[in-house]
Amino acid sequence: MEKSLLDIIHIVLNQVQKPLTAEAILKEIKSNNLYDFTGKTPKTAIRARLAENIDQFESASQFVRLQKGTFGLRKWLIESPGQYKEYEAKKKRNQLMDEYLAVFNRDTLPQIVSINGLNEVPIDSNWFKNNCTPMVRHEAEDDYSVVQLISVFIIKFKDKIITHTRSAKAPESRLHGERSIVFGGHITYEEVNSLFDPFDPNSTHPFIKRELEEEITVSSDSVMTPIGLLYDSTRDVSSQHLGLVYLVEMINEDYEIGEKGYHINDELTHISDVIKNKSDYENWSVELIDKILNKGKY
């Protein structure tokens, strides 16, 4: 029977007997001609298969994260307990729920958005700095009198965008299992009022790194363009959030999903296929597919 990619990765790790990154695993596979990759991003495929296996099977997985982005065999934890220790992401769900988010009064929403859906307007940093107040996340999730700020990134390479499924590990349980074209997360109150201005297009790369580094890594030369504000009152979860929407254009196909396990089944998908299958995606994605992708903007 033909060996799977995970079978080959296990063989490689068992042979080298040391932790490897996805890039190093790929180098070993290619140098020994162990596997025929059909996709254009084999490093991403290796990282994705490992992350999915570890997140799905947890302690029953044959694989383990030993450092951020570095993998090994779980049996090493038993064979060399003093040498290896399982790596865990810094932020657990309960810690995320205790973050102080940037929120603003729902009654002021008409000051910045005029329609339900995508508002292609400038992102006014001064308005947010003047109107946002801090609120602990678990309180904000239960308070419908305020709206939480969310960074929203569409990540594109030529005629493809990165799509993914939100896993059961993601903090927002109402989005579990849903297909999406967006990345990003809550903007904290500290970020709104820090020396670095997350709303300033001239400061795009630090914002990408800070907001996405635990979810996805793209080239530092990627270009970010602010698109506008996204609000959708037709669904409970989206009515509590305002998205600050940016288009990220990669200079190559290389990217790497973070190790928190919030995003699974990721792939670079042709925009035409996303448009054709838009009913497979959650509501914010559908709005952006209609307003941005389907109209060939940006």
Q: What are the pLDDT digits (tens) for 189-199?
A: 877 765 345 55
Residue type, 84: Y
Neighbouring CB atoms inside 10 A of 62's CB total 16
Strand partners, 153: 183, 246
Q: What is the mean pLDDT of residues 84-89?
A: 80
Strand partners, 101: 135, 188
Q: Going by DSSP bridges, is the β-strand pair 241-249/146-157 parallel, antiparallel, or unpaired? A: parallel
At 208, the pLDDT band (50, 70, 90 cuts) reads very low
pLDDT over 80 at 52, yes or no: no
Better-scored residue on pLDDT, 165 or 40: 165
Better-scored residue on pLDDT, 27 or 175: 27
The C-alpha atoms of residue 145 and residue 83 are separated, in whole angstroms, by 51
Contacts of residue 274, Cβ cutoff 8 Å, sequence gap at least 6: 161, 163, 181, 281, 289, 293
Range with the lowest mean pLDDT among 72-86, 202-216, 260-274, 275-289? 202-216
Most confident option among 73-77, 130-134, 169-173, 200-204: 73-77
Residue type, 178: E
Percentage of residues in the chain with pLDDT exceeding 70? 83
Q: What is the mean pLDDT of residues 17-37?
A: 92
Strand, helix or coil for residue 191: helix
124: Cα separation from own chain's centroid: 24
Q: Give pTM, 2 decimals.
A: 0.67
Query: Angle formed by the axes of helices 42-57 and 5-16, to 10°?
Result: 90
Query: Tens digits of per-residue pLDDT, 251-287?
Result: 998 888 765 567 778 889 999 999 999 999 999 999 9
Q: Smallest Cα–Cα separation from 212: which of 242, 243, 256, 176?
A: 256
Percentage of residues in the chain with pLDDT exceeding 90? 42
* Predicted pLDDT at 234: 87
Across all residues in the chain, what is the average pLDDT? 83
* Predicted pLDDT at 39: 66
